[in-house]
Amino acid sequence: MITERLELREFRPADLEHLYRLDSDPRVMRYIGDGSVLTRASVAEALARVTKYYRNYPGLGVWSAEERDGHAFIGWFCLKYVPKTVEVEVGYRLLPDAWGRGYATEGARALLRHGFADLGVARIIGLTHPDNLASQRVLAKAGLRDAGWGRYYGRDLRLFAVSRGESVE
Ligand SMILES: CC(C)(COP(=O)(O)OP(=O)(O)OC[C@H]1O[C@@H](n2cnc3c(N)ncnc32)[C@H](O)[C@@H]1OP(=O)(O)O)[C@@H](O)C(=O)NCCC(=O)NCCS
């Protein structure tokens, strides 16, 4: 998948170091889960799950993101089921060097278009830690509306949502 400045592609086993660089950075993990960084072993397990997901849920998944200009790895974007629910969520996790340039909004918009136009998903949600204001701003800019709070991943999270047919641009 191509956006104006980014290329999203499926993760491969060889991407372990990229993913570890992301998930071992406390700035990146601050608002994710309990804020802990991940070990190399848990990142390897996560990568194995991610590479299987494309086959189990065609069209959905977590995609590695690179700048089209120079091919630097910047992080990932996802469109996938929230575990144990029928909700599809859009998400993103970027390296700090890539923050503040509109990349998260650009990638999220591309995945909303993919979800609605290519997959026919009825509704896409976004979930953030209540203090993660940058991520909430990204969701709003991408066209999701504030839907209050929801309990997902065993936590009370801020909930944003957009349905097919609502404007996403
Ligand atoms: C959240 C994250 C994806 C944002 O990526 P990004 O590429 O910098 O996002 P964008 O540039 O598209 O937009 C960020 C917006 O948030 C705003 N913002 C940034 N920090 C902010 C803060 N502390 N409070 C309020 N708004 C903030 C920016 O000004 C910008 O809005 P604007 O365009 O109106 O000025 C990135 O910081 C990240 O990967 N963080 C770590 C992982 C993470 O938290 N992922 C989300 C989990 S829900």
Sorted by where each starts, the structural domains of the chain and their CATH numbers stand as 6-163 (3.40.630.30)
| pLDDT reading at 43 higher than 70 | yes
Ligand 1: residue whose CA is nearest its atom 1: 135
| pLDDT reading at 135 higher than 70 | yes
> Residue 6's pLDDT band (boundaries 50, 70, 90)?
very high
Backbone angles phi, psi at 154, to 5 degrees: 70, 15
Q: For 45-52, what is the mean pLDDT?
A: 97
**44 CA → ligand 1 middle, Å:** 26
Run of H or E residues at 108:
helix 103-113
| pLDDT reading at 168 higher than 80 | no
Q: Between β-strands 6-10 and 155-163, what pairing exists: parallel, antiparallel or unpaired? A: unpaired
Residue 155 has what pLDDT? 95
Mean pLDDT (the chain) is 96
Question: Cβ < 6 Å from ligand 1: which residues?
Answer: 28, 31-32, 92-94, 99-105, 128, 132-135, 137-138
- pLDDT, tens digit (0-9, with 9 covering 90-100), for 61-111: 999 999 999 999 999 999 999 999 999 999 999 999 999 999 999 999 999
**79, 131, 137, 139: residue to mutate for ligand 1 pocket, most atoms within 8 A of CB:** 137
Q: Using N-to-C axis directions, what is the helix angle for 133-141 and 103-113, rounded to 10°?
A: 50
Q: Give me the sign of the Cα torsion angle 29, 38, 103, 140.
A: negative
Residue 166 has what pLDDT? 87
**153 CA → ligand 1 middle, Å:** 21
Distance CA 18, CA 24 (A): 10
